[in-house]
Amino acid sequence: MLTLRLPDGSTREVAPGTRPRDVAESIGKRLAQAAVAAKVNNVVLDLDRELPSDGNGDIAFQILTDRDAEALAVLRHSCAHVMASAVMRLFPGAQLAFGPALENGFYYDIESPTPIREDDFPRIEEEMKKIVKAAEPFERFERPTAEARALCQDMSQHYKVEHIDDDLKQYPSISFYRVGNFIDMCRGPHLPHAGRIGAFKVLSIAGAYWKNDQNRKQLQRLYGTAFFSQKDLDAYINQLEEAKKRDHRLLGKQLKLFTISQLAGSGLILWMPKGATIRGILESFIKDELMKRGYEPVYSPHIGRLELYRTSGHFPYYRDAQYPPMYHHPAGSALDLAQHRLAAGVLNEKKELDMAQFMQLTQFAVPGYAEAKTQDDKLEAVHRYVANVLQAMNVEMPDYPKATDATSRAQALLGWLKDQEGYLLKPMNCPHHIQIYKAEPRSYRNLPVRLAEFGTVYRYEQTGELSGMTRVRGFTQDDAHLFVTPEQIEQEVGANIDLVLFVLSSLGLNDYRVRVGLRDPGANKYVGSAEDWDKAEQTLVKLVSSRGMNYTAEKGEAAFYGPKIDFVVRDCIGREWQLGTVQLDYNLPKRFELEYVGADNKTHRPVMIHRAPFGSMERFMGILIEHFAGAFPLWLAPEQARVATISEKFTDYGKKVEGELKSAGFRVSGDYRPEKINYKKREALMEKVPYLLVVGEKEQTNGTVAATDRVAGDLGVMSVAELCKHLEAEVRERRIRQVSTGSAGLTDTGAKYAE
RNA sequence: GCUGCUGUAGCUCAGGGGUAGAGCACUUCAUUGGUAAUGAAGAGGUCCUGGGUUCAAUUCCCAGCAGCAGCUCCA
């Protein structure tokens, strides 16, 4: 017999092979009707799956009903099947890939001979309704792997076959689910029957690569969502619409915080006066904090010698994500690109694809390159191109003709390029800060050295990535680099984690998650020794866990020079963005041969910490706009109060009040137009001005103002001095009165961490 | 970069093979008011750009650019 432990603590004995449905029925008829799935030892199962027979000890058992979040995921996964089934009926020959449930819905990746379009959504939904109405059961069956493969083959589901061959071969058997005449290879679990889907909607369609691999075929990803009731669906749609109103791109325009001009360049933020005011306050805020914490300010230029970035590794490594390098010599750019290609040598298929894309991006058109069959022929084409350029542009490069293979040709080109004046818009501040570190001899006595700068960097992000203020091509990091002894690492990284936490909590940003980015052992894109990496990764994990922080360690999320701790928040539509970051780096100190003199009078190598509590001013601002829904707290509000006159007769008094507040240091404006007070108040509220100060006959006579708080409403009449006291306290405390939830109350990943 | 959608006044959007439309904002005039829109008049457009089809293109077709959603990428 098995012993089931129910959520209320009671236990129940059942025979092996009992199904959750039986248990539910034995508990009560209504529970059995409400049952969606079961949770057995923390695994969600179908109601008709037999309970495991090898139970040693109690089995934690729970019937999931429509009230459980996990049941909603089951519903959505089932709805993905229903949608796929509908698509199969309407689009003959469609191939199915993956169709999982998501946090707020589901998708199915599909390849159809006739592409699915948005116009098709209504008839897909119609077909889905029929399937839901038929309320046929989801039936699970298993087949030995070979048989399962044959079944998929019979159904002409090539992606399923490929998936078995790639990843599922190792399992003895594979499960399928049937609903109506639709069969899909699937792990489950599913609803008892399709009729349990109360409400659904097909939302959008977009491209997605098979197995999320850029080098594989692109499929159509059809998104939808589903709920147990129409009411829940309506509420969700409504919530989405509300969230969209907080979009920083919309509010940024409405509130005149920033703009992006096509003429000035996409991805390049133009800060308007109001946005710039907020940014300036944030910058002073963090600057004051840094001075207290032993940082020293530095400044560095917007461009740097290419050689600097060759040394750091940024220039070759992020080549295709940078604005093109600037060479004085007219042949510089062409030869630079040729060098890049020759140095890459013989490429595999994937690398060649990347390279072709990059060459297209840079308009590096080499005659005969595309037509060349072999990699060696491609390299020859580049070589002929170089020879032509050298001749046509009269470039003296004696080493080049002597070179006979791609590597030595690349070498010869590099030798020439290194002698050229060449600059790069700086993609990172660290190499500059490193030069400042190196400008004087350093002793262990004055480490850590902490160099801070609001450094503006430029990265040529792919067009599809650009998004408002959150993903841009020019941005300012609240950057600093710490040069420390190995013994100081824990202390300094720890202090920086605390700094990030302080900054986030000062702004009421509590809805974020912490990600420890580790290297992906399988990838070869990292620099430095395995020992250094292990050491660095262990340190970071130790620090976050010792603080009791809730974090996820993610492989492949490290920077190329070291692991990092990222603070990730969500925007109003649920997308994740990295804000603050603390990164540990053993590699750049080696590349730049950094040193300090230790107590033993010998030279040692410092370790670097890269960190930015805001991340970038642009992204932080974007997230902040959404966080406050444009209504910034008083200490940040670009316009803190507005004087509004009842009629033009009180203009002089209004201006007097405005002047007094301004000399008290507040950001105040006055609305003296001949409009009614209703009109002026509405406008002030729409512009999210925290305080409205109404002045009329009574106020003029008594030397007062009638203050209205945007959030709390009428504050009554008070003197200007009283008002100043009130405002001053609110600013000093950096009081936050109103925030919006991080992502429209859309549930988060569960990795949330709030101090 | 890829897939799909979109591009009309400062903003939000309607329209449609043959003189371009609304609301808000803006300007002017009247109104001098007590806490979420006073009334009237006026001004404002290379219908994203470049090609093509057509007697005629803002409208249809193609390409480019930009924006949006998703995927990939993100030092």
Whether residue A586 is found in the same domain as residue A674: no
ipTM for the predicted complex:
0.95
- Give residue-wise pLDDT tens across range A63-98: 999 999 899 999 999 999 999 999 999 999 999 999
pLDDT tier, A746 (very low <50, low <70, confident <90, very high otherwise): very low
Last residue of one domain, picked from the residues A378, A399, A420: A420
The answer to whether A468 CB is within 7 Å of strand B is yes
Kindly report the CATH number assigned to the domain that includes residue A19: 3.10.20.30
Does residue A537 register a pLDDT over 90? Answer: yes
For residue range A449-491, what is the model confidence (pLDDT) as tens digits? 999 999 999 999 999 999 999 999 999 999 999 999 999 999 9
Taking the C1' atom of every nucleotide in all shown strands and the CA of A462, the nearest one is: B1
Does A749 fall in a domain?
A: no
Evaluate if the CB of A318 falls below 7 Å from strand B: yes
Looking at the fold, whether A456 and A588 belong to one and the same domain comes out as yes
Residue A270 lies in a domain: no
pLDDT tens for each residue of A388-422: 999 999 999 999 999 999 999 999 999 999 999 99
Same domain, A611 and A674: no
Question: In chain A, how many domains are there?
Answer: 5
A223 shares its domain with A97: yes
Closest nt by CA–C1' to A116: B4
Answer yes or no: is A305 within a domain: no
Domain boundary among A43, A65, A87: A65
Instruction: Give the count of beta carbons closer than 10 Å to the beta carbon of residue A228.
Output: 18
Q: Which of residues 372-391 of A touch strand B (CB under 7 A)?
A: none
* Whole-number pLDDT of residue A745: 38
Q: Which 278-307 residues of chain A approach strand B with CB closer than 7 Å?
A: none
Task: Looking at the structure, tell me whether residues A150 and A231 fall in a common domain.
Answer: yes
Report pLDDT for A589: 95
Which residue gives the smallest C-alpha to C1' distance to B32?
A647
A322 touches strand B (CB under 7 A): yes
Q: For the sheet containing A668-671, what is the strand order? A: A668-671, A641-645, A691-695, A704-709, A713-719
Which residues of A have a catalytic role annotated? 430, 459, 477, 479, 481, 564, 610
Report the distance separating Cα A229 and Cα A226, nearest Å: 8
**Distance of C1' in B63 from CA in A401, Å:** 41
Whole-number pLDDT of residue A741? 63
Residue A259 in 3-state DSSP? strand
CATH number reported for the structural domain that contains residue A467 in this entry: 3.30.930.10
3-state secondary structure of A715: strand
Indicate the burial class of A309 (C-beta count within 10 angstroms; 0-12, 13-18, 19 or more). buried
Query: A282 lies in a domain?
Result: no
Considering the domain architecture, whether residues A444 and A458 belong to the same structural domain is answered as yes
Is A318 a member of any domain? Answer: no
Protein-covered nucleotides of chain B (CB closer than 7 Å) are 1-5, 11-12, 30-38, 65-75
Q: Which domain holds residue A693?
A: 641-732
CB A627 within 8 A of CB A652: no
Mean pLDDT calculated for residue range A537-551:
92
Least confident of A362-366, A603-607, A665-669: A362-366
Please check whether residues A396 and A517 belong to one and the same domain: no
CA atom of A260 to C1′ atom of B47, Å:
22
pLDDT at A747: 36
Residue A694: the pLDDT is 97
Residue A690 domain flag: yes
Could you identify the residue whose CA is nearest to the C1' atom of nucleotide B37? A679
- The reply to whether A117 Cβ lies less than 7 angstroms from strand B is yes
Q: Is the CB of A701 under 7 A from strand B?
A: no
Judgement on whether residues A498 and A547 belong to the same structural domain of the protein = yes
- What percent of the residues of chain A are helix, what percent strand, and what percent coil, each to the nearest 5? 40, 25, 35
Lowest-confidence range among A129-138, A239-248, A694-703?
Answer: A239-248
Whether A158 is in a domain gets the answer yes
Q: How confident is the model over A122-144, as a mean pLDDT?
A: 95
Residues A446 and A356 in one domain: no
- What CATH number has the domain bearing residue A220? 3.30.980.10
Residue-by-residue DSSP string for A291-344: HHTT-EE----SEEEHHHHHHHSHHHHTGGGSPPPEESSTTHHHHHHHHHHHHH
Mark which of A603, A627, A651 sits at the end of a domain: A627
Beta carbon of A352 within 7 Å of strand B? no
pLDDT band at A55 (very low <50, low <70, confident <90, very high): low
Q: What is the pLDDT of residue A368?
A: 86
CA–C1' A247–B67 (A) = 15
Q: What gap in Å lies between CA A545 and CA A91, rounded to an integer?
A: 51
Say whether the CB atom of A83 is under 7 angstroms from strand B: no
Answer for A442: CB within 7 Å of strand B: no
Q: How many CB atoms lie within 10 A of CB A210?
A: 18
Q: Do A59 and A85 share a structural domain? A: no
Q: Examine the domain organization and report whether A433 and A390 are in the same domain.
A: no
Task: Indicate whether A274 belongs to any domain.
Answer: no
Residues A560 and A510 in one domain: yes
Contacts of A391 (CB under 8 A, 6+ apart): none
